[in-house]
Amino acid sequence: GQQLNQSPQSMFIQEGEDVSMNCTSSSIFNTWLWYKQEPGEGPVLLIALYKAGELTSNGRLTAQFGITRKDSFLNISASIPSDVGIYFCAGQLGWGAQKLVFGQGTRLTINP
Amino acid sequence: AAGVIQSPRHLIKEKRETATLKCYPIPRHDTVYWYQQGPGQDPQFLISFYEKMQSDKGSIPDRFSAQQFSDYHSELNMSSLELGDSALYFCASSVTGGSQETQYFGPGTRLLVL
């Protein structure tokens, strides 16, 4: 089946540092999504990407849809304590109510 | 803005019992998806419905069934519960059609099977 390889699996950083994480796949996706999940809660959408090469920002977050449509990255600038959580990439292969395939997640821990 | 609503938020059942999880999509969303997330795992797709018809199916056990009703809400029915069914169950909703079908997730139902 389709798999997304997300890295790193965990990050321990100091407040104020920048963060970068990425996802790669052997499959071509038509949509890439980045979600943040906190313990016991549902994934919250951060950024949605729909076109190859697309670069989108949401405040301190920036994400890009790879040209090959097989990868995506998420950057967080100037991290703050509330950025703590698990970040998931998710890809959708096609349109028409198709499932999301998730990466393994990146657990972000911030030292104040 | 209105979000996806799931009920109940927490559920405790015994082995071999049945459970029903409910999902109310964002208003005007016509598609619902169900995902299961085990501890420390990423969400795994179970099943989806578009306009009350099953549209995609993942690794959903035969003991589970789901449907979408005329008001677009959905229910996931789980029978003969096993210990391994303990997990977080998420519903997501979207609008199908066009080139941007973004799934928005609910807060989840935490199921514990004893």
Distance (Å) from the alpha carbon of B15 to chain A's nearest alpha carbon = 23
* Residues B71/B63, Cβ–Cβ less than 8 Å: no
Residues 6+ apart with CB under 8 A from B102: A31, A33, A45, A48, B94
Name the pLDDT band for B14 (thresholds 50, 70, 90): very high
Q: Which of A40, A48, A105 sits opposite B102 (nearest CB)?
A: A48
Q: Which of B44, B55, B104 sits opposite A96 (nearest CB)?
A: B55
Q: How many Cβ atoms sit within 10 Å of the Cβ of residue B82?
A: 12
* Residues A51/A42, Cβ–Cβ less than 8 Å: no
Percent of chain B with pLDDT over 70: 99
Please tell me the distance from the alpha carbon of residue B58 to that of residue B16, in angstroms, as a whole number.
23
Task: Determine the pLDDT at residue A2.
Answer: 60
* Residues B103/B85, Cβ–Cβ less than 8 Å: no
Please tell me the distance from the alpha carbon of residue A48 to that of residue A56, in angstroms, as a whole number.
8
- Residue contact B100–A33, C-beta within 8 A: no
Residue of B nearest to A46 (CA): B104
Mean pLDDT of A76-98: 92
